[in-house]
A and B are shown apart, each in its own frame.
Chain A
C-alpha cells in the first residue's frame, strides 16, 4: 500500500486499519510498527509480554494517543491528522472496545449501557438490535440488571455487547481472557469472532495469552525497544 496524497482515501476499498511507519516514544521505551493492515472480517491477535506496549498500541489505534511519526488510517482516514473532536466521533462510530476491566457504567442498567454506547457513537438508537446482541450472547435475561448485579462472566458478555452494539467496523478486545480458563477462553474468543463477522467488522485481540494465537486468523508480535 502506497502513501495516498490526501488524508481521505476511498473508504470502500481501504482496509479497516492501516498503519505505516509508526513510531511512538514513551516511558523510555519506543514502539515502532512499519506496516500493519487489517480488513473486514479479518481477525488478529496482537501478542507480546507485559510492558511490550500492548496498551500503548491500543491507545494509538483508537486515537487516544498521537504517534511521533507515521500514519494510522481507519477506513483510509488518517486519524493522526484529525482534530480531537473528530477523532472522538470517528472512534465512536467505527471502533468498539472491550476493556480489560470492562468499565460498565455502574449507574445504569445493562440495556441502557448498550443504548448509551449507540447514542455516544452517534448512530441511531436501535433497541431491537441491542436486544438481538444480548440474545446472541445468551444474556437477554439480564438486560434490566445493574452492572453490580452481574457475575464476572456475565459482565464480560455485557462489555462485549456494548462494544458491538454501535456496529463498529473495528472491534478491539483488551486482554479478554486474562481471567478465564481454557474452555471459557475459547468460548469468549468464539463470541468475539462471531460478532465481528456478523457485523462485517475486523477484530483485534490485544493479549499476552498465547492460547489465542491459534484461534484467530493472524497474529502480530509487538516488540517495543527499550
Chain B
C-alpha cells in the first residue's frame, strides 16, 4: 500500500469530483495544446511553402496579395510584368535566381503554373512517375492534384480560364500529363506545372478573356491577367490548327513580330464577351498562335534566351545571392514603373499579426480555463481534507510522519493534475488527428495529431507546477494536523 496507491484510492472515494476536476483541467489543457499544435503546423506549412523564396517581384498592387498569389497560391495576382524582367533581374548581382511564374488558368481548382524547371527545384520536388514537360501543353501534376482529380500520365485535360472552376474552358488546347510529382507536403502538391510557353500559347489562342472571372476578382490586374498570352498575334497566317506540337519551328514568327505589336490594341476591343464559348470564331488567331508557340517552344530549351519583347509573366520568385539584397533589391525594383518587390517574410509577419490577435484571445481563454480548473482542484482537495482530517490523524498514529501526510496530499493533487493533463493532450492530439482527416489535405495544411509542438513540453511542465502549487496549501494543512486535538474532536 504505497502512498501513491493510497492517494489514488482517496481520489476514487469521491469519483465525481475527481473526474469533473480532471475534465475541467483537460479542457483547458486541450485548448492550449490545440492552439500550440495548430500554430506550429501552420507555421511549418507556411515556411515549407515559402521554400526559401526571399522576394516576389510582380506588378504594382498589394504586396500581401503578390505574396499570397505567388507563393501560397491563395489569391489572384495583381497583374503581369514583361518577360524582359526575367532576364533583367536574373542578371542582377544580388539575385541568385528569379523564376518566372505565369498564373491564370486552373483545372478543377488546381492552378496551372507556367514556369521553368527551376520552380520544381525550389520545392525539391521529385518526380514520382514520368518526366518533366518537354514541349508546350505537356504538364506535370502535383501529388494532391493526382489524388484529387484522378488524372494519370498520358491523360489530357483542359484548363479553365481563371483560378476557380468555371465554364471558361480551353477545350481546344488540352494539356497532356507527362509526369507526376512525389508529395512535398507543401502547396506545390496542389499545382499543375507546365512551361511558361504553354500558358502563353494557351492565351494566344484564346485571346484575352474580357469579362471573365479573374477580371472581376482582380481589379488591379484586370486585363493584364490575360495578356499572359499576349494579344498581339493578329497576323494572318495560314497554318492548320493542331494539338500535336511535336514540330519545332524554331524560327517561328519572328518575322511577324512587328505586326503583333502594331495591332495589339485592336484585339482588346474585339471580344467584349467571353471568347471561350465560341473558339472557332477566332480560328485565324489560333492558327497564328500555334505558330507562335512553336517559336516559344524552341525558346524554352534555353530560358536565358530572350523571347519576343511583348510576352509577359505574372511574377518572379527571387532567391537572393546575398542577404544584403533584402534591403537593396526591393528599392531597385520599386523604382521601376509598374513593378514592386514583396518580401514573403515581412508580409507573412504582417498577416500573422492580424490573425494573431484572435489567437491571443483564444489563448487567454484557455488560460482562464486552466486557472479555474486549478482553483477547482484546490477547492476539492481542501474540502476533502476537512472531511478526512480524522483519517489523516489516524495515519499519523499508525506511524506516518508529517512529511508523509504532506506528500500524500501533494500526490493527490499531482495525480488529479496528471490525469487532467494526459486526458487533455489525448483530446488535443486526437482532435487534431480527426481534424486532419476531416479536412483531408485538400487545404494544403497537413494537419495531424501525430506530432508534438515543442511548447507542449513547457505546457505540461507549467500545468504540473500549477497542480502541485494548488495542492500545497491543503498539503500544508495536512502537515499541520494536530493529531491529539483532531482525534479528541467529534
**Which A residues lie at the B interface, using CB under 8 A?**
55, 59, 62, 64-65, 84-85, 88-89, 91-93, 97, 99, 101, 103, 105-108, 112, 115-117, 119-122, 162, 166
CB atoms of B398 and A107 under 8 A apart? no
CB atoms of B6 and A117 under 8 A apart? no
**Which B residues lie at the A interface, using CB under 8 A?**
1-2, 5-6, 9-10, 12-13, 390-391, 393-404, 483-484, 487-488
CB atoms of B394 and A99 under 8 A apart? yes
CB distance from B130 to the nearest CB of A (A): 68
Interface residue from A64, A85, A97, A116 paired with B1 (Cβ < 8 Å): A116
CB distance from A61 to the nearest CB of B (A): 12
CB atoms of A64 and B397 under 8 A apart? yes
CB distance from B1 to the nearest CB of A (A): 4
Contacts A107-B9, A107-B13; is A120 near B400 (CB within 8 Å)?
yes
Between A and B, how many residue pairs show CB distances below 8 Å? 77
* Residue among A62, A91, A101, A107 having the largest count of chain B Cβ atoms under 10 Å: A107
Mostly helix, strand, loop or mixed at chain B's interface? helix
CB atoms of B397 and A91 under 8 A apart? yes
Q: What is the CA–CA distance of A9 and B352 in the complex, to the nearest angstrom?
A: 78
User: Top 10 A-B pairs ranked by shortest CB distance?
Assistant: A92-B399, A107-B9, A116-B1, A120-B399, A64-B484, A103-B394, A107-B13, A59-B484, A120-B398, A121-B399
List the B residue with the shortest CB-CB distance to A60.
B484
Interface residue from A64, A88, A112, A166 paired with B400 (Cβ < 8 Å): A88
Interface residue from A106, A107, A122 paired with B399 (Cβ < 8 Å): A122
Residues of A near B487 (CB, < 8 A) are: 55, 59, 64, 99
Contacts A59-B487, A116-B6; is A103 near B390 (CB within 8 Å)?
yes
List the B residue with the shortest CB-CB distance to A122.
B399
Contacts A108-B9, A112-B1; is A88 near B401 (CB within 8 Å)?
yes
CB atoms of B6 and A91 under 8 A apart? no
CB atoms of B6 and A106 under 8 A apart? no
List the B residue with the shortest CB-CB distance to A64.
B484
List the B residue with the shortest CB-CB distance to A123.
B399
Contacts A/B (CB < 8 Å), 13 sampled: A62-B397, A64-B396, A84-B402, A88-B396, A88-B399, A88-B400, A92-B399, A107-B13, A108-B9, A112-B9, A115-B1, A116-B6, A120-B398
Residues of B near A115 (CB, < 8 A) are: 1
Residues of B near A162 (CB, < 8 A) are: 398
List the B residue with the shortest CB-CB distance to A148.
B13
Residues of A near B395 (CB, < 8 A) are: 105, 120
CB atoms of A106 and B13 under 8 A apart? yes
Q: What is the CA–CA distance of A89 and B398 in the complex, to the nearest angstrom?
A: 9
Q: What is the CA–CA distance of A166 and B403 in the complex, to the nearest angstrom?
A: 21
Residues of B near A85 (CB, < 8 A) are: 401-403
CB atoms of B401 and A89 under 8 A apart? yes
